Amino acid sequence: MSDVTEALESVLGERVRREPEILTAHQRDTWVLGELFDYRGEAGPLPLAVVEAESAHDVSETLRLCRAHGCPVVTYGGGSGVCGAIRVGERTVVLSTRKLAGLVSLDSGDLTARFRAGTFGGDAERRVREDGLTIGHWPQSIELSTVGGWVATRASGQYSTAYGNIEDLVLALEVVLPDGAVLRTRETPRAAAGPDLRQLFLGSEGTLGVVTEVTFSLRELPPFHFRQAFHFAGLHAAVEPVREILRAGWRPPVVRLYDASESNRHFGESCPEGRAMLILLHEGPEPAALAEANAVSELCRSRGGEEADAAAVDRWFDERNEVPGFRTFIEKGIMVDTIEVASTWQHVTQIYDAVTSALKEVPGILVATAHTSHAYRSGANLYFTFAVRPDEPGEMASVYAECWRRAMRATLANHGGIAHHHGIGRVRSGYLAEELGTAGVAVLRAVKHALDPDDLLNPGNLLPPQGPEAKG
């Protein structure tokens, strides 16, 4: 047993787990490259121990002891991250939030609910629904991810167009800093008390502190829902109507536009071959939701849209969180992944064309498609899916990296932002300097150094590699 494990056990007792199956289950997140390494028996080192913290005090003690022993700490929520943000190195302790779960307080008058960070998203949503309320955050991974993980990755939900992304839903945070101190932001609807410290931890991916509590600002459950679908001549033809819907001030919670290939894949006969499907959800007080649906319908029809069978939208809702695992593809020699980027309206179709064309030139490419699932006044995201089967199974990792390189390059060359909601992790860290600029990365490094001078919280994640590891 190592010194640090002994020290942790003396303070935290049975909360320190060292069973082989528990260590193995906490080695990595859901990144497809991690899955490939696992499949090849190259999973890398196991953590020294997994600490199942039950309180902010346990988290403080873990960070304090690991710091005293110079031992890296990786926080593990649901492990559903898809960018390689969790990958255990040598002599690493994993801090699991699995037992740091449950509701702390709910105030239905103020519309606030405070959860411990390891609460799974589905559990949190079901709990507030008991009181007729909703968080309004519906990532596809709602049952796989934790509320602390949502904060740490700046996650987006399927209803973001009306309700916003995680940064719009979080009222306050409790965070344990790398030296064990506890930071709590005040539960007020707004503050002009210097920079917003919540933002420092939103997207920090376990590198600046451990989120231990998340307070949400809730909504009443909407009393009425209305689903709609239209198909257009193609993604290009439909982007402008979507922009106009947002510009006119309408805010359907769900606004998803699929290119022709994805429309065919998801909606089959409900969307004629070669057409692009737009699906929408309107909700709220019935008159408001119906007014929005009517206005959207008029706008879509006047821009070449044809109404599709709303049953296609019902099917999408029923199946929206079902996704095949990466392993089944890897076993067939295929690497599949998704890449989400964002841009202002004027560049959306340009980025769509540039990224899909760049991906289609990769030898062995099988699929290069996209949809947009989050729309804003000034732009939208693009969510690409690619599948590639290199001739040689030994090339799966390098061809995968080449797909990412091409997608990132094409996005940056066309004024896009490299990450809409999955985060940076290891898959994008080599491109972060181009996203933030030299000054931006310097700020991030200075903050990291000030809070975590020994670089012990999730080292190797998020910040661009320096020295020989750096890539472009």
Ligand X SMILES: Cc1cc2nc3c(=O)[nH]c(=O)nc-3n(C[C@H](O)[C@H](O)[C@H](O)COP(=O)(O)OP(=O)(O)OC[C@H]3O[C@@H](n4cnc5c(N)ncnc54)[C@H](O)[C@@H]3O)c2cc1C
Residues that bind ligand X (CB under 6 A): 29-30, 74-82, 85-86, 97, 117, 139-141, 144-146, 148-150, 152-153, 155-156, 205-206, 210-211, 323, 421-423, 458, 461
DSSP assignment of 327-390, as one string? HHHHTTT-EEEEEEEEEEGGGHHHHHHHHHHHHHTSTTEEEEEEEE--EETTEEEEEEEEEE--
Q: How far is the CB of 205 from ligand X (least distance, A)?
A: 4
Smallest distance, ligand X to C-beta of residue 425, A: 7
Q: Minimum distance from CB of 269 to ligand X (Å)?
A: 26
Number of DSSP helices (H) and strands (E) in the chain, helices first: 17, 19
Structure tokens at 62: 């873990």
List the structure tokens of 325: 């695992």
Classified as helix, coil or strand, 269 is: helix
Q: Which is nearer to ligand X, 228 or 381 (CB)?
A: 381
Give the three-class secondary structure for 424.
coil
Question: Closer CB to ligand X, residue 85 or residue 368?
Answer: 85
Rounded CA-CA distance 211/249 in Å is 35
Helices (H), 71-120: none
Angle value at C-alpha 42, between 38 and 44, nearest 5 degrees: 95
Judged by beta carbon, residue 87 or residue 275, the one nearer ligand X is 87
140 or 350, CB closer to ligand X?
Answer: 140
Instruction: Report the distance separating Cα 138 and Cα 68, nearest Å.
Output: 39
- Closest separation between CB of residue 12 and ligand X, Å? 17
CA distance 85 to 349: 30
> Smallest distance from the beta carbon of 192 to ligand X, in angstroms?
26
Cβ distance to ligand X smaller for residue 80 or 228: 80
Smallest distance, ligand X to C-beta of residue 157, A: 6
Residue 58 vs 205, nearer CB to ligand X: 205
Tokens standing for residue 404: 């990412």
Minimum distance from residue 92 beta carbon to ligand X (Å): 11
Give the type of residue at 27.
Q
Return the number of the residue (275 or 422) whose C-beta is nearest ligand X: 422
Residue whose structure tokens are 């320096």: 466
